[in-house]
Structure 1
Amino acid sequence: MPGSRITALGHFQPTRVLTNDDLAAMVDTSDEWIRRRTGIATRHIAGDAESVTDLAAEAAAKALATAGLAPSDIGLVTVATCTAIDRLPSTAAQVAGRLGIPNAVTYDLNNGCAGFCTALACADHTVRAGAARHALVIGAEKMSHITDWSDRSTCVLLGDGAGAAVISATEGDEEGAIGPVVWGSDPTRSHAVRLVDEWHPKFAQEGQAVFRWVTGELPHVAREACAKAGIAPGDLDGVVTHQANLRIIEALVRQIGLSESAVIARDVVNSGNTSAASVPMALAKLVERREIAPGGRVLLFGFGSGLSWAGQVVTCP
């Protein structure tokens, strides 16, 4: 069976930037309060006319162009999202239509903030099984659509954006560059991150419970993903976790056992929490800025609603 590798990345964010001072004019908060509790300074917010499909298609088009592939080369398109309004056709089908991808399998996947890493694993398995030679994996969210702008504990967190990766089969004796996934869920705690109000769904979470779960129970899962990939945590070139908030990220990575030179993604500072879009968007930016060189080994690790998690070590293009 062939292996698979990430051959290209792309990202996209709306042009509107919402600052902490902007939020302070909307709810009882301040720049100092937000930075101290979350580390977030700004977030990008989509316009009313911008859809999840719009965000996803922009990021996917960049990844496809960087990969140098024709649309007809893509055999699978999957979009990880929890905020797409359209049920039929899927966001993935709409993206394929916009990019002129003619015959790919298309589907959306909802695993909340762990969505991209989950979708990446599914695409990896598809390519390894020979069912597609090239796959397009996208994480895209319009979190502003489900934000309760009167709730200062959550509205300061959320932003919009998309990230995409092209996955391709390895050639000849080339080793696979996407490591085995470690994934799972604890549905007994699914109430901790949820949507409330059936008619006008809004994001809600039990922040302290999520913080304790991530920092207390997930470090060993991250280390297990490294072990399955045959790499020690100290040999990683970087880590891209779900960009939940800076306090969670830093508390988690301190326990993994990284070297001092490892690059830690902190895109949450400028982008906020973008759920399934956060991992691919942060990874694409690190690669674009050459903060992680081609061939660098990076742990991707998503976690969130469900409560679910998914992670794998990948080699950067």
Structure 2
Amino acid sequence: MSATAYLAATGSALPGPPVDNATLGRALGVSEEWVDIFVGTRTRHFGWDLETGQVRHTLADLCAQAGGAAIDAAGLDPVDIEFVLLATATPDTLLPTTASEVADRLGLMYLPAFQIQSGCAGAVQALDLGRTLIAGGARAGLVIGGDVTHRHLDPHRDVARVPTEELVNYVLFGDGAGAAVLTAEPVAERVAVRGVLNRFTGLGRPPGQTVDWYGISDRHSDRPMLVEDYKAIEESVPTMAREILWELLDQLEWTPDDLDFLLPPQLSGRMTERITEHLDVPGAKEVSCVAETGNTGNALVLLQLARLLPDLPTGGRALAIAVESSKWIKTGLGLEKV
């Protein structure tokens, strides 16, 4: 790929006030201490009301807010945007796509609007595709990642009867969206995307996470909507993250000492701590958000980038790592401010 793509600006959207562990614990009938010890996440945001379940912010709402903020921060107008890429595991509807709804809200017209169905790897996959479009001649495009939980978490359910492997989803996940403007020339934040890793590695392996969908024929099924194999995730993700680190460093011809910032996978507060220790890059400053936002799926890498960009000095280098456990996808980014 001959042309370099640049991150010009980011935007983010987190709905409503943060919900702390005490508030969430009271609503679920579990102790605040259990939430803190089990996942290590302090707050998260929900686009739905914790007491009534009323949806107040859709995925399109959040993605349009984040995307508009990124375009403004880049100093561009909607007419300058030549493609939209939106990654999510929780679209508002199957059709029309949330990507096209967001394009409509942002006043974007006569451009490709792609939707990538993915999880924690989605934002990197979208940035990878965006690089290809920039290399093909596009001058600027919008990459968005976001997820919402209202289809998967039922506030009216008797949590005392919910198995632990399902209950943890109520404290692990949150709602949010992040966005970034990719450009062909270094403008605004001027962060070059030096390399991308994007690899499916789950051949013949059971998924670590399944997000189901109910159609008209099976909507009354008793099977859970969201299932995770936490043991497999805890065992596999730290190792996969370290593999991504070294594969990207080799691709970029960098060493760990070249890194100023490290953006580790954002599964939960506790898991991110373990993964960062396993990566063992003490000279790089960690950039994390999951303890404050909860696991927001496709938004996470973009929310990390929103925290990184203001602190990245000219010549500074950063490496971002994201692992998707659905079918074991390894992704990462190498970044340098020019």
TM-score (norm 2): 0.85
Give a deviation string over 1:49-91, Cα, whole Å, max 9, x none.
Answer: 3211110000000100011112111111010100112222221
Quick one: structure 1 residues 154 and 273, their matched pair in 2 at CA, closer, same or farther if it must change by over 3 Å? same
Question: 5 Å matches for 1:187-198?
Answer: 187-196=203-212, 198=214
Q: Which residue of 2 aligns with 1:184?
A: 199
Q: Equivalents in 2 of 1:189, 1:316: separation in Å?
A: 38
2:154 matched to 1:133? no
Q: Equivalents in 2 of 1:95, 1:315: separation in Å?
A: 29
Q: Equivalents in 1 of 2:329, 2:133: separation in Å?
A: 21
Give a deviation string over 1:78-113, Cα, whole Å, max 9, x none.
Answer: 101001122222212111111112222101101211
2:319 matched to 1:299? yes
Give a deviation string over 1:257-313, Cα, whole Å, max 9, x none.
Answer: 4233x22123111110000111101220343xx444455322122212222121111
Quick one: structure 1 residues 5 and 155, their matched pair in 2 at CA, closer, same or farther if it must change by over 3 Å? same
**Equivalent in 115, 134, 138 of residue 122 of structure 2:** 115
Q: Which residue of 1 aligns with 2:288?
A: 266
Q: Secondary structure, in 3 states, of the residue corresponding to 2:177?
A: strand
- 8 Å contact from structure 1 (residues 148, 154) kept in 2: no
**Equivalent in 95, 105, 108 of residue 98 of structure 1:** 105
Q: Equivalents in 2 of 1:226, 1:312: separation in Å?
A: 10
One-letter amino acid of the structure 1 residue matched with residue 335 of structure 2: V
- 8 Å contact from structure 2 (residues 241, 279) kept in 1: no
Q: Equivalents in 1 of 2:270, 2:205: separation in Å?
A: 21
Question: 5 Å matches for 1:19-168?
Answer: 19-47=20-48, 48-130=55-137, 132-147=138-153, 150=159, 151-168=166-183
Give a deviation string over 1:244-268, Cα, whole Å, max 9, x none.
Answer: 11232222222334233x2212311
One-letter amino acid of the structure 2 residue matched with residue 93 of structure 1: S
Q: Secondary structure, in 3 states, of the residue corresponding to 2:235?
A: helix
One-letter amino acid of the structure 2 residue matched with residue 100 of structure 1: G
Q: Which residue of 2 aligns with 1:315?
A: 336
Please tell me whether Structure 1 or Structure 2 has the larger radius of gyration of its CA atoms.
2
Q: Equivalents in 1 of 2:304, 2:154: separation in Å?
A: 25
> What is the total number of aligned residue pairs between the two structures?
310
Q: Equivalents in 2 of 1:294, 1:284: separation in Å?
A: 16
Q: Equivalents in 2 of 1:81, 1:196: separation in Å?
A: 14
- 8 Å contact from structure 1 (residues 235, 259) kept in 2: no
TM-score (norm 1): 0.90
Percent sequence identity over matched residues? Answer: 30
Q: Kindly state the Cα deviation for residue 148 of structure 1 after the two structures are TM-superposed.
A: 5.4
- 8 Å contact from structure 1 (residues 3, 177) kept in 2: yes
Q: Equivalents in 1 of 2:231, 2:30: separation in Å?
A: 19
Quick one: structure 1 residues 164 and 256, their matched pair in 2 at CA, closer, same or farther if it must change by over 3 Å? same
Q: Kindly state the Cα deviation for residue 187 of structure 1 after the two structures are TM-superposed.
A: 4.4
Q: Equivalents in 1 of 2:245, 2:328: separation in Å?
A: 15
Gaps of at least 5 residues in structure 2 are: 49-54, 160-165
